[in-house]
Amino acid sequence: MKQVLGVFLQDLKSIAKSKAALLIVIGLCILPSLYAWINIKASWNPYAHTGNLPIVVVNNDEGAAYNGRQINVGKQIVQELEQNKDIDWIFSDSWQGNYGLNEGKYYALIEIPNDFSRNIVSLTTENPNKPDIVYRVNEKLNAIASKITNAATLELADKVKSNFVAEVTKEVLKTLNPVGGTLQTDKAKILQLRDTVTQASDDIAQIQGFITKANSNAAALQSYLNSVKNTLPKLNEQITGLQNAVEANKSLILATKQGINSIETNLNNDLIQLQTINQQSQTLLSTLKSLNAAANSGDFAGIINQISAPLSSASDLVGAEIKSLELLNQSYPNQAFTQLISLLNDLQGLITAEETKVNALKTLLDNGASEEAIDSAIDQISELNNQVSGDLSQVFSNFYSLSSDALNNLADNLSGSMDNSDAVLASTRVIIPQLNALTNYGIAGSELSVSEANDLANKLSALQSELNQLSGTMQDLNEKNLAEIINLMQLNPGTVSDFLSSPINVQEIDIYNMGIFGVGLTPFYTVLAIWVGGLLLSSLLSVEHNASEEVGKPKPTMMQAHYGKMLLFLAVSIMQAVIVTLGNKFILGVKPADMLLMLGFAILSALCFTTIIFTLVSIFGNVGKAVVVVIMVFQIAGSGGIYPIQTNPRIFGILQPLWPFTYAMGGFREAIAGPLGSNVIKYSSVLLLFTGVFLFLAVLKKPFHRVTAYMEHKFRESGL
């Protein structure tokens, strides 16, 4: 140990005696820090300056008529973009825009076609055409810029969609609000009118009784007709009021019919979407089973998430359709609706069970379960998936054979019932003058023939039949139903349209407070700077001990000289690591959760990297330097420093645990974001293991010494 320290002290004295050597060592201490700081600062927050990225917008929209007024959605988009400073929006015509894009003046082009508004408005019709926005990007200028502009385009499309939904909903509710107010005002009259129809039917029955008696007593008939004559004006007034109410209800029934048609359309679309999700899940399960059979778990987590998220959406879709059908079945009970609701409940239970099994599979994977256990879990999910497929088939069968017809019949009957009511009331009004004339005739003539009385009785029977039919149709009209319809019509248009256009608010929470891009890159560039510092040391300083100044003293052995020389490299590397780490905090403004831990990992990384580099260069010479550079290149690409390792080719994921960068960056991330004890122990232990292994590998220096010296000698002889 004394000889090792002696070598180290001799190197320190040599540095102190030579100003040139001292300046070089000082430069070596600072130079790696500049490498890290400049790169981190350059990448600090690039997304804060996207307002300088030029994107050209071309609006060719010709507009369209909607709800009695002319609209131009493309013009509205341009007006919104003029207020948006997130991107440098440039507005131009088609020729100039495409020319500038091809010449590299703009990063991307967004073109709004001439039929954009027409296609937007078509979404409210029975034959909608999905509107398009043309997006062109010049990837040649910058790969990252194309991703940023693409994200801006998707955000623009989402904004147009939500604004359209909000506008349509608002207009519909604005139209229904006045009708709802009228119904609220006339609710008592409407209910009274329903009772009047029933009463009128009862009155006609009484009239028939009197006419029958008139066959035997003309005087009694004459007296009764006098009373009927006084009743007819009231009946005429009631029929007039009933006709007005029927006209008012037509708008309500039309809206209800549209709602029923919407339920049918939504249900059909949702069932198709559920079938697609089920098929995708089966395909992904087959992929999982194949990966598990090949003992390959690299993509398991991503595939499981691809299965789990659509299952949650599928459960929500089924739940929404169940609620819609239950509300419809309460108002218009139908055995087909009841059967479909039961089938959907069973389907939702299976989807929920499948989602639970998928989450359990994810837990098994996280806990490192055996291949057999994972395979069994996948089989269970596949069985549930097959059951879901079977239930979907039953739902499809019920929907297309029963429920769809029931929905169509219900919508048609709603309209038909009001048309029948109109016809009945019109017929009734025609009969009233005849009744009036008949009563006058009876009063004027003291004798009324039996045949005329019978004819009147027949006509009254026909009238009573029609009134009974109208009364039966109106039996479902009660105060509760009217209140629900009025509440639906009187909803606030702004509130409802805002909710339907954007029903979910996403609350983003950064649990580790590393939102700034540069802070996230600090571990990578700091670790890389420490490695580069060690590489510079091996390039500028000799790894061999010069014993010429030690005349008269015991000459250190090869191993003593090796470890003594390594101490100088370790000392300088530690200073490099401390300088770059302190600069990260006090120059760049990185705020680590644990500064002492970050310094600790910086020093530990320096010890580990320098031991690896020094050992390889000392044993293999220039070949060792080449190996160090190759290792650095592999670590830059395959340690997950910038991009997630899962996005790289599979070979990088396999090799990642072999690189010290992986554990050094992990330690820095723990120190910056907030440490977890288990991770800190794991990362530091592996770095110490690397250090110990390469300290031990120094024993190879003696057998390789002659070969390395020979290669170095021949290289110098080459004059290169």
pLDDT digit string, tens, across residues 495-546? 544 544 455 554 444 545 555 767 878 898 899 999 998 888 888 887 777 6
Read off the tokens for 331.
């108002």
Look at residue 255 and tell me whether its pLDDT is greater than 60: no
Q: What is the mean pLDDT of residues 285-291?
A: 78
Look at residue 253 and tell me whether its pLDDT is greater than 80: no
Most confident of 61-65, 137-141, 688-692: 688-692
Q: What is the mean pLDDT of residues 126-146?
A: 74
| Residue-wise pLDDT tens digits, 667-701 | 998 988 888 889 999 999 999 999 999 988 888 87
Q: Give percent above pLDDT 70 in the chain.
A: 62
- When pLDDT is cut at 50, 70 and 90, the band that residue 370 belongs to is confident
Q: Give percent above pLDDT 90 in the chain.
A: 9
Q: Model-level pTM greater than 0.75?
A: no
Q: What is the mean pLDDT of residues 622-651?
A: 80
Q: How far apart are CA 286 and CA 375, in angstroms?
A: 11
666 three-state secondary structure: helix
Look at residue 164 and tell me whether its pLDDT is greater than 50: no
Asked whether the beta carbons of 89 and 131 are under 8 A apart, the reply is: no
Q: How far apart are CA 322 and CA 339, in angstroms?
A: 11
Q: How far apart are CA 183 and CA 203, in angstroms?
A: 28
Q: Please give the distance of CA 515 from its chain centroid, rounded to a whole number.
A: 20
Per-residue HEC secondary structure of 608-658 comes to: HHHHHHHHHHHHHCHHHHHHHHHHHHHHHHHCCCCCCHHHCCHHHHHHHHH
- Residue 56's DSSP bridge partners are 90, 109
| Residue-wise pLDDT tens digits, 619-632 | 888 888 888 899 88
Ordered domains of the chain (ranges, CATH): 2-43+512-717 (no CATH), 55-174 (3.40.1710.10), 186-477 (no CATH)
Q: Which range is least confidently modeled, 387-396, 445-454, 629-638, 672-681?
A: 445-454
| Residue-wise pLDDT tens digits, 650-669 | 887 788 888 898 999 899 98
Look at residue 593 and tell me whether its pLDDT is greater than 60: yes
DSSP string, 678-691: HHHHHHHHHHHHHH
Give the residue with greater pLDDT, 275 vs 58. Answer: 58
The per-residue pLDDT for 603 is 94
